[in-house]
Amino acid sequence: MVTLTVINCCVFRLGSGDVGVVQPTLSLLPPSRVELEQGRAALLCLATGGFPSDWKLGWKVGGSSRSAGVSDSPGVLGKDGTYSRSSALTLPADQWRK
C-alpha cells in the first residue's frame, strides 16, 4: 500500500515572499474498494483556504513528480477571499497496493 510519504499532494507557491500568505488545508481522499476491484485507484486532493491565488497542486509518486493521470480543477475564490482547488490522480490499482 502507498503511504502519504510515497504519494504526496504538494502545494507550490509561485510568488516571492508575499506578505499575508496563507497555506491551504489539504485533505486526501483514498480510492474506494470498488475502484480497486475494477483495477484502478483514484486519489483526490482537496486544498481549501489558500492565499494568494498563485499556487498549484502537484503530485509525487515514489519521490518523482507525476503529471500523467492527473486532472486539476481551476482555483475558486471563496466568500472569505481565499482560494480552493482540487487535483485527482489515477493510478493502476497494483501501483497503489505496492
Mean pLDDT by 10 residues, the chain (98 residues): 42 55 90 95 93 86 88 93 93 89
pLDDT at 23: 86
pLDDT at 17: 52
pLDDT at 15: 55
72-79 contacts at long range (C-beta below 8 A, 24 or more positions apart)? 77/53, 78/48, 78/49
**Cis? peptide before 52, omega within 30° of 0:** yes
